[in-house]
Amino acid sequence: MSSADEVRIEPQVFGNLSVPRRSGLGGLSMGVSAALIPVVLLGILFLATGRWLLAGALVLAAAVAVLLLVATKRQGRSIYGRTMLRLSQRVKEKSGRDLYLAGPTGKGTPDGATRLPGLMAKSELSEFTDSYGNPFGLIRLSGAGVHNYSVVIETHPDGDSLVDREQIDHRVAVWGSWLTQRGLDEGIRGASVTIESSPDSGLRLAGLLEANRQSDSPDYARAVTEQIGETYQGGAPQLVARVTVTFDGRRLDGRTGDRGFEDMAEEISTRLPAIVGGLAGTGAGSVKACTAQQIIDFTRVAYDPTVASLVEEMQAQGGTGLGWQDAGPSFARDAFEHYRHDRAVSKSWTMYEGPAGHFTSTSLRRVLEPSPELLRKRVTLLYRPIPADRTTAMVQQEQNDAAFAGSQTRRNARAALRQAAAAKTAQEEAQGAGLTRFGLVITISAATEEDLRPWNKRIPGLVAPARLRLRPALANQAVTFQAGLPLGLVLPDHMLVPDSVREFF
């Protein structure tokens, strides 16, 4: 067959992503437009009473404030937002809340435990069995109006090497259906996928060679195996993927409070096999829920990556014996641009703007590839499926806002694309598609702060093929570090301002 007769298979492209927001006057947000209403009324009052100077000063001050809000935006933050981050960090440091000391000599832990800090400080971990008799760990995070229960599922993806394009597209479709089903299920607060890469300690290869060594083997075979162990001691980097599903544990009778471990475990145990089985066609490979001990071990390694080889060795010898109260760091400092914990320092980035156009199933390949220079790298996709009873209202609201925004500004390509995207979303939702909010957290861990400096520009560049925009989690490194762990932390549940209010701004 000649080159002219060859059939070229184009990769499947995806897109039509939008952010729910309320549009105001003149291209401003609804919140800013609403804040200007009292200013306008007060200016009219000054004009009516003859106080021209006050009216002019008020209009000038409002114009400067709006101009600074619009013109000083950098990485999605205005000068007001950046100033508030600086002030909050300063208040945090003066009050001592940026430091965490645990263990026998720590403060705030009279029992000498090294619990998880921050939002996960009140978390609990227990183990149950599902309807098929398989054990699974269940994390409970309760308090201050939050009653969430999370399970962690460990997967071993097959990869896309030597996989046909049609099969890859099928896997993407199955994954989309899995997310849609989470929106149809009752009581799902969120889900996440964490891909963690780290250098191989070489213990797995050494254990494999030792287990297959024979005392009567030929000298040549013994020499070859010994050379393999010495040559490939570093091995290929480890790559682990974990899926976390978080359930709502609030009481069903309308009262405030938690349903409790036993009640939630009984419900989750019957639903978990279907959730795990739904991942079969996504390319996740072998899928199994993590036990409580596995959750403890990988959490401990996340806070102190230098003990990874020791934990792996103890696991091979029967288990680490660690408890949930031992999984946290003994020392942590939440700095403005990084997070120091035990013998490592980490930095996290968050997505502040999604893909502006089309992307493919391989757009995140570069950022997911292992980085041998780092102790740990985690890429976490956060999902919050919208319940099916709310999707229609959200789609209609987005159509109305897109039409209103187009009428407020001169017709341009961006306004036309937003209206077209809203119409396409409404059509797909009417055909049974679900809506899902999503975000991205990237966390890297190294031995020193200097080792992180070259990655300040490399990390945003790795997501360039996906057309994502990242920014450092300034003044929120500790919280973002926990959000990137596969522990089921749903950050919007811990915010004082709900989504319905934040959409106005």
Instruction: Grade residue 154 by pLDDT with cuts at 50, 70 and 90.
Output: very high
pLDDT (0 to 100) of residue 409:
60
Give kind and range of the element (H or E) at residue 497.
none
Cα three-residue angle 110-112-116, rounded to 5 degrees = 100
Which of the 8 DSSP states describes residue 118?
Answer: G
pLDDT band per the 50, 70, 90 thresholds, residue 210:
low
Highest mean pLDDT among 20-29, 309-318, 424-433: 309-318
Q: What is the mean pLDDT of the chain?
A: 86
> Is the pLDDT confidence value at 490 over 90?
yes
Per-residue pLDDT at 104: 82
pLDDT given for residue 412 in this prediction: 64
Return the number of other C-beta atoms located less than 10 Å from residue 192's C-beta: 27
Of the candidates 157, 482, 488, 486, the one whose C-alpha atom is nearest the C-alpha of residue 298 is 486
Confidence of residue 5 (pLDDT cuts 50, 70, 90): very low
Q: Which pLDDT tens digit goes with each residue over 215-224?
A: 777 777 777 7
Read off the pLDDT of each residue in 311-331 and give the average, rounded to a whole number. 92
pLDDT of residue 427: 83
The span from the CA of 25 to the CA of 29, in Å, is 7
pLDDT 10s digits, 425-449 = 888 878 777 888 999 999 999 999 9
Structure confidence by residue, pLDDT tens digits, 46-100: 888 888 999 999 989 988 988 888 888 888 899 999 999 999 999 999 999 999 9
What pLDDT sits at residue 3?
43
Please report, rounded to a whole number, the percentage of residues in the chain having pLDDT higher than 70: 89
In this predicted structure, the answer to whether residue 465 has a pLDDT above a threshold of 60 is yes
Task: Say what angle helices 308-316 and 203-211 make with each other, to 10 degrees.
Answer: 20
Please say whether the beta carbons of 137 and 156 come within 8 A. no
Q: Please, what is the Cα angle at 373 between 298 and 453, to 5 degrees?
A: 105
